Amino acid sequence: MAGVRPESRLALIHRVIVPDEEYPKEYAVLVTDCRSVFIRQEKTRRNFWLRREMSCGTALITDVVPKTLEDYENFGMESLTADSANIIVPHEAVISLAMKREKWKPRKYDFFVRLTMRMQKEEFQVYDFEMNYQQSPSFETMIKFYAVPLGAYFKPRRQIQTRETILREYAREALETFQKVLPAKLISS
């Protein structure tokens, strides 16, 4: 096959959380020039902690080391796409991508989070994305994911930046990654 060029791996979004009825799922997103591969990550924490991280936008447990683009070089695209736990979204199938800011809705058991917000004089703003794509000619689907950085990303920046800035920059980096591969008319923020 002389005319086929290899798929270029462009970027890795270290962590997004996809909400689910029974349990939120963590993914790393490998973005190539042809598709985005949501790579299912191992379960690192309980349902309670993942739901808190989705709502307040920060890694509450900080011992997970993020993988790099180089770590995924050892995996063939065929093996990543063959794994049924991963979500494959071809870029030509994407209908729209929207980045949104979801207002935090505190609950009774979020007392310490509210107290921290008040003491730090910061709002915990979570950014989420909604990607609509054509799964088959007659079936359109939507994947919603929250841009929640790992502690390894968050902690060093926290020394010099506000939580709000860190979360906004992480979401903006994810958006810019998708802007490189998707037509501008499909993306809104």
d(CA 16, CA 25): 8
pLDDT (tens digit per residue) in 8-55: 889 999 888 888 888 888 899 999 999 999 998 887 666 666 666 666
* The pLDDT value given to residue 165: 86
pLDDT (tens digit per residue) in 117-152: 666 666 667 788 999 999 888 899 999 998 888 877
pLDDT surpasses 90 at 88:
yes
Residue 149 phi, psi dihedral angles, 5° rounding: -70, 155
pLDDT-based confidence at 83, cuts 50/70/90? very high
pLDDT-based confidence at 97, cuts 50/70/90? very high
Does any domain span residue 161? yes
Q: Which domain holds residue 83?
A: 9-183
Residue 65 phi, psi dihedral angles, 5° rounding: -90, 125
Does any domain span residue 151? yes
Pair of tokens at residue 128: 């989420």
Does any domain span residue 123? yes
Q: How many domains does the chain have?
A: 1
pLDDT-based confidence at 56, cuts 50/70/90? low
Pair of tokens at residue 132: 């609509």
Give me the CATH number covering residue 110.
Answer: 2.30.29
Does any domain span residue 188? no
pLDDT (tens digit per residue) in 143-168: 999 888 887 787 888 889 887 888 88
* The pLDDT value given to residue 96: 95
Does any domain span residue 111? yes
d(CA 93, CA 165): 32
